[in-house]
Structure 1
Amino acid sequence: MSSSDIELQAVPSIGDIPAEAWDACANPGGKRDAGESTGGASLPGSGSCEGLRERYNPFVTHAFYHALEASRSAWPRTGWAAQHLIARRGGTIIGVVPCYLKSHSRGEYVFDAGWADAYERAGGRYYPKLQVSVPFTPATGPRLLVRGDISDARQVRELLVKGLMALCRTVQASSVHVTFAQRDEWELLASSGFLQRTDRQFHWQNEGYATFDDFLGALNSRHRKAIKRERREAVAPGITIEHLTGNDLTEDAFDAFFDFYQETGSRKWGSPYLTRDFYTRVAETMADDILLVMAKRNGRWIAGAINFIGSDTLFGRHWGAIEHHPFLHFEVCYYQAIEFAIRRKLKRVEAGAQGEHKLARGYLPKETYSAHYIPDPGFRHAVADYLKRERQYVAQSVDELADYAPFRKGDGDGS
């Protein structure tokens, strides 16, 4: 088959795309139980993008995007106008790209406000731009979504990339930004002229630990003692910790969590990105994909963190509190996530953006990837030069930070 029999279309709402068709592209292997392994085998049609579809990712599901858009968290009035790109062959949707026309650079976690300022000072118009991402979600996942049962998956992905570039011209956007992409997609996008950018996050890796104490045993003495002290002091004032998932997710718990989220959002962003309705919608459609870690004192919820569960990854998203106690943030967000991942036999915990403080708690630096299409040749040249230097800095910082990992390095480390 050839790409000539494929039709591309931009769709202004996730609601206009059947959930079954979207999810057949987003997670073509279906939803597997946590900890289940595919044995490293690529799915049919993976082509040279081997491994892109091995894992179930909750953030690229139709349900997650629908909750964002239907709750008016990501919609035109908040600067997220959907322009989802779909590819059809013979009436069947075989590929999709989650894409938004943006009027600002908020809620992306790959920061380009400096680019916008420089371009506009030079007389250009940076907004609108096209953003290929999961709104408000700095988690790596597939972005060029293609059904797993077709034989020419790479060609379809290449056509989707060309479609993004054509859409950029059609809507008169300044650029296209594909953020938190998987590395294979990052390389494919680069082969089509996208500029490559890297950043770093901190992820915890499960090395086959059976218990949290096994994990502690892999740390050097100083960090092991520090974590034990932090965990002990976090719950000292009569605080208890509960895990809520599935049927345990109640509106009462989400009411409390939304209060926590608003408190944090007002301090960090001025106003929170997500509406209360978003949480109701994901609880209705994705309850088994959600883990709320909630702290309670004197019979009321005082803090919590929301996580989403993939087939081999626990994705930490955001947290908040109405009472502030020493080390409670570390306990609720990091240590409880590690315990859950060990119990579920998940391979990793991705704890979200930024945070060098995570290093001392066993989360190691990992590169993240984004790709950027900039048609203006002068602006493209300036950004390319900047990104070359930035990639070198990121790679160096990842290596340097890894040297400070808290894990035991030998018998002479005092552990």
Structure 2
Amino acid sequence: MPLQRLHKLSEIPAPDWDVLVPQNQPFLRHAFLASLEDSGSVGPHTGWQAEHLLHVEAGRVIAALPGYRKWHSYGEYVFDHGWADACARAGIDYYPKFLSAVPFSPVSGPRLLAANVEDGFELLKSLPGYLEIEELSSAHINFTDAFTDAAMAEQPGWLQRIGCQYHWQNRGYRDFQDFLDVLASRKRKQMRKEREQVAAQGFEFEWLEGRELDEAQWDFVYACYANTYAVRRQAPYLTREFFSLLAERMPESIRVVLARQGSRPVAMAFSLVGGDSFYGRYWGCLAEFDRLHFETCFYQGMDYAIAQGFQRFDAGAQGEHKLIRGFEPVITHSWHYLRHPGLKAAVKDFLHQERAGVLAYAEEARSALPYRQA
């Protein structure tokens, strides 16, 4: 089956794309992905060339794979730099490669968007041939959901990789104190102390939806976001325009909490919501304050999730400090198709060993959770 491709998502009407996207997935909506492209946050100059693959039948899109042609491995959060380095030493071209993922967003969800399973299978079957024709070294489908995992398991030649993140589960808590009551005494006192230390510095917090922020406030949000990169002497992935476009196109999915000391805003956390999930994405501050990061990014998000009835709080990749605050280990999945037989064999062996290590780590990490033992 010949695949059609889009180099700009704006080439397809939003309803034709969104009809394939589950309603609880804000990161895959036309508005989100197109805002990345239209704002210049992704594009050829960034090493992220949009290359969305479509299965079209009778003029109707019946399956899609959001994707990008990549010339590097930054902003993916499934790290294959070692594979690329090994190829460079062996004289094998690793770039460009094909990646299906949400740029800069390590959020699990559907990657194969299809009206039914069979249509999705047809698209996947065509992908290896597409790589050969386009002279792409490999295909990578990151942070997949159970539906995509099941589809990928049926395809020959793909290698599965697992990782570990930390998510907080709202088990019907009435308020934050209700959550604290299920913790071990020492951990409960530690969290309460952290929140008291922030309150003692005079901080107050305000939650806003996307439509409630004006451009001056978005300037502040972006300044905070960009500062998290500036302190590491790096350029931010997202442009300022991205935030304005997203606020215009899908304001109902945006949540921002502003931290103020007196009347002066000094920090923020930017999140998205979808279905029963709350997704913490970006944080930043204009000065350093003791424990403010934990309050703004975690405790405020827990408070909000409880109040609004969200069942899951995904606060992003990495960060073992989340464990002691109640974020539990969650296994993530990605899939990889490597055309070079020698590279494929080496990676397959590596992934077998890595899998055992990740599973052992996730099990051990549970011992750091603050919950009372049964």
What TM-score range do you get, normalising by the shorter chain? Answer: over 0.9
Query: In the alignment, is residue 21 of structure 1 matched against residue 16 of structure 2?
Result: yes
Superposition map of 1:184-199 within 5 A: 184-192=147-155, 193-199=157-163
- Cα gap change, 1:261 to 1:337, in 2 (>3 Å): same
Superposed displacement of residue 188, structure 1: 2.4
Give the match for residue 168 of structure 1. Answer: 131
Alignment-mate amino acid for residue 22 of structure 1: W
Tell me, yes or no, if the aligned pair for 1:132 and 1:179 is still in contact at 8 Å: yes
Give the match for residue 179 of structure 1. Answer: 142
Superposed displacement of residue 291, structure 1: 0.7
**Alignment coverage as a number of residue pairs:** 373
Superposed displacement of residue 166, structure 1: 2.4
Give the match for residue 289 of structure 2. Answer: 325
Superposed displacement of residue 269, structure 1: 6.7
- Cα gap change, 1:328 to 1:74, in 2 (>3 Å): same
Alignment-mate amino acid for residue 143 of structure 1: R
- Cα gap change, 1:334 to 1:226, in 2 (>3 Å): same
* CA distances 1:169-204 after superposition (whole Å, capped 9, x unpaired): 222111001011113312421331211101111000
Tell me, yes or no, if the aligned pair for 1:246 and 1:288 is still in contact at 8 Å: yes
1:158 to 91, 115, 121: 121
Query: In the alignment, is residue 124 of structure 1 matched against residue 124 of structure 2?
Result: no
Superposition map of 1:374-385 within 5 A: 374-385=338-349
Aligned residues: CA RMSD: 1.3
2:111 to 137, 143, 146: 143
Counterpart CA distance in 1 for 2:211 and 2:138 is 43
2:77 to 109, 112, 129: 109
Which secondary structure does the structure 2 equivalent of 1:240 belong to?
A: strand
Tell me, yes or no, if the aligned pair for 1:249 and 1:287 is still in contact at 8 Å: no
Superposed displacement of residue 286, structure 1: 1.2
Q: Which moves more between the two structures, 156-165 or 211-220? A: 156-165
Tell me, yes or no, if the aligned pair for 2:110 and 2:147 is still in contact at 8 Å: no
Give the match for residue 48 of structure 1. Answer: none
Give the match for residue 9 of structure 1. Answer: 4
1:70 to 38, 46, 51: 38
Superposed displacement of residue 247, structure 1: 2.6
- Cα gap change, 1:269 to 1:119, in 2 (>3 Å): farther
Superposed displacement of residue 7, structure 1: 5.8
Query: In the alignment, is residue 286 of structure 1 matched against residue 250 of structure 2?
Result: yes
Query: In the alignment, is residue 91 of structure 1 matched against residue 59 of structure 2?
Result: yes
Counterpart CA distance in 2 for 1:268 and 1:143 is 31
Which secondary structure does the structure 2 equivalent of 1:341 belong to?
A: helix
Which secondary structure does the structure 1 equivalent of 2:303 belong to?
A: helix
Give the match for residue 309 of structure 1. Answer: 273
Alignment-mate amino acid for residue 197 of structure 1: R
Tell me, yes or no, if the aligned pair for 2:2 and 2:126 is still in contact at 8 Å: no
Which secondary structure does the structure 1 equivalent of 2:334 belong to?
A: strand
Tell me, yes or no, if the aligned pair for 1:220 and 1:406 is still in contact at 8 Å: yes
Alignment-mate amino acid for residue 312 of structure 1: D
Tell me, yes or no, if the aligned pair for 2:67 and 2:101 is still in contact at 8 Å: yes
Give the match for residue 41 of structure 1. Answer: none
Which secondary structure does the structure 2 equivalent of 1:25 belong to?
A: coil
* CA distances 1:107-150 after superposition (whole Å, capped 9, x unpaired): 11111111101011111000000010000101111100113xxx
- Cα gap change, 1:14 to 1:290, in 2 (>3 Å): same
Give the match for residue 212 of structure 2. Answer: 248
2:180 to 216, 228, 248: 216
Question: What stretches of structure 1 of length at least 5 have no aligned partner?
Answer: 1-5, 32-55, 148-152, 411-415
- Cα gap change, 1:278 to 1:319, in 2 (>3 Å): same
Poorly superposed stretches of 4+, deviation over 4 Å: none
Alignment-mate amino acid for residue 376 of structure 1: H
